[in-house]
Structure 1
Amino acid sequence: MIKNLIKNTILFSAIMLLNCSSKQDCPEGINLLPMYGEVEKCAEQIKSDNEFISDCDKQFKSRTEAAEKYVEKAWGYFYNNEPETSMKRFNQAWLLDKDNAEIYWGFGNLVGMKHELKQSISLFEKSIKINPNNPKVYESVATSYGQLFFETKKIEYLDLTIKNLKKSLKLDPKNAKNYGSLTSAYAYLTQKDSLKKYLEITDKLDPNMISPEVRKIAAQK
């Protein structure tokens, strides 16, 4: 009887250790990372994902439609200054449709808010690869490159800022804000011809988009 008791105790302990190990194997906080951090999920998390997808299959005509709904929710939380909830909704949308370009744009904006600039650019590029016709994504890329330029003073980042602003303006040629940003970017270059060119264009659209400092630089010979 004592042998059986010891045997059962060992078995019970082994089961408890196995359960603890299983729980420890579940990576934590991954729903706050783009694409769940691209890590291997535990069985419990996979089960939860499958249940979520199954529920969406019942509620929506397609997973594409379901993903669009969750993207809409994600942007709502984003603009309501709730980045963690926004990331969770974008991740759920990603589970449903990995070919939705707005998901990667959302991911990029969220990590950019945390100043993870190079990762944000990588995510924006994923978005552009799927849909190269969204001017706002190029604007977001330009913003990240612009911040990298301010931090490092490396001219290649300024060049990439200008390049992406021009791509955005090609798709949205009446965007006064982006023309103002482009004008400001050229203020950092020695040659001022482009600065004056884009200053004139911006003034025709909205002169409020040009700061007094940039006007002062443009006025210099």
Structure 2
Amino acid sequence: MRLYLLSCVSVLVSTGLLAQQPVFRSQSTNIGVFSSNTVHTTKPNSFIPESDKKNTKKRFAPTGLNIHLMPLFGGYDKTDSQKAIDEEFLKVCDANFKTRKEASEFFSQRAWEYLSEGQKDTATYRFNLAYLLDDENVDVYWGLGVIDYQNEKYEDAVALMLHGLELDDEDNTTLMVDLSTVYLRWFIVDKKDEHLQEALSLLNKAIQKTPESANAYMQMSLAKLFNNQLDEAWNNFHKGYELDPQNANPEILQALLDKKDDPRGIFKKGQ
């Protein structure tokens, strides 16, 4: 299995896809799955559920550390001066927006825009402000998860995005597809089958809920390819292609062709 996986990776690692910083929201099938062979395996600290914070001592950030540029303020407790700044910010928002939820949505939207421009620090800061206004804003956990993904902090990314999915009653199929991408990347770097299986499970749910999602089928094609299920990989690729030909992923197609000829004879090497 590992040799098979490495041979799949070798097909795609030189395509130039590595230079991209995918923003996800499944707006494209530029998967960005293949990267370095390193992975951050430290215990996540950027997202600490409230239930885990009970009965714990105060944990303040070290001097000089800017918690505003860390997802969810790095999970640190805030000093009195930091709390005062937060309160002033909330007062300004209360005076300029109908509700804090509306304000949170405004800042999270700005954050996505900054992230699409590659400004991760500014995006993190805006997502944190959105979190301060509404800690149940799904986009906060989604966006910060994407940033952790880009920073190769896959465990943190999964924790954040899973929480966002829970807040959305596990009904957000676009987030499911994005989260499956994180699991597939994580699988590439640590070779743990459990991460591949998580991706497969998420994609199955996404396709059941939204059978017209071309991106879900493309990601499923990749997952099946990694699982050495070539016929199913081809079948899912064709389904995604039929739904949205313009969004077909050429890197996945090349990897499939290198492993097995198209059973339908539609795609051929060198086309």
The normalised TM-score by structure 1 is 0.81
Superposition pairs of residues 43-192 of structure 1, within 5 angstroms: 43-131=80-168, 132-192=170-230
* Counterpart secondary structure, 1:219: coil
Cα deviation code 1:62-110 (max 9, x no counterpart): 1111111111111111111111000001100111111111111111111
Name the CA distance, whole Å, in 1 between partners of 2:96 and 2:115. 24
Name the CA distance, whole Å, in 1 between partners of 2:131 and 2:89. 12
Identity within the alignment, %: 27
1:106/1:191 CA distance change after superposition, 3 Å: closer
Cα deviation code 1:16-54 (max 9, x no counterpart): xxxxxxxx9766210111211121111111110000001
Higher helix residue share: 1
Matched length: 198
Name the CA distance, whole Å, in 2 between partners of 1:33 and 1:69. 20
* Greater RCO (Cα-Cα under 8 Å, separation 6 or more): 2
Which structure's CA Rg is the greater one? 1
Contact 1:75-1:86 at 8 Å conserved across structures:
yes
Structure 1 residue runs without a partner (length 5+): 1-23
Aligned-residue CA RMSD (Å): 2.2
Name the CA distance, whole Å, in 1 between partners of 2:134 and 2:68. 16
* Counterpart secondary structure, 1:158: helix
Structure 2 residue runs without a partner (length 5+): 1-60, 264-271
| Structure 2 residue corresponding to 1:198, chosen from 213, 236, 259 | 236
1:97/1:86 CA distance change after superposition, 3 Å: same
Superposition pairs of residues 210-221 of structure 1, within 5 angstroms: 210-219=252-261
Cα deviation code 1:156-215 (max 9, x no counterpart): 211111112222333332222321221121112244442243233234224533512213
